[in-house]
Amino acid sequence: METSFDDLTHAVKAPQKSPRLGIALAAVAFLATCAGVGFAIKTMDHKEAQLPAIDIGQILHPGVV
């Protein structure tokens, strides 16, 4: 009884290191980094609003320059 209890205690305390888990965490970190860089580039490319090239006079009187 004691040996099975000791085995179970040892199994619970032993860290479970999986190469798949490491690869998955690295992939998630890489994708999050790429998304953050993309978002940063997108926000830096912000331009101020420009006035339209056509004014109201050209719309109301199209033939007049």
| Sequence-distant (≥ 6) Cβ neighbours of residue 44 within 8 angstroms | none
**pLDDT (0 to 100) of residue 37:** 92
pLDDT tens-digit series, residues 1-48: 567 777 777 777 766 677 888 899 999 999 999 999 989 888 776 677
pLDDT of residue 27: 96
What sign for the dihedral angle of Cα 27, 28, 29, 32?
Answer: positive
Say what the pLDDT of residue 31 is.
Answer: 95
The Cα 49–Cα 62 span in angstroms is 25
Residue 5 CA: distances (Å) to CA of 1, 47, 52, 60? 6, 67, 79, 91
pLDDT (0 to 100) of residue 2: 64
Is 0.75 topped by the overall pTM? no
pLDDT of residue 58: 72
The CA distance from 25 to 33, in Å, is: 12
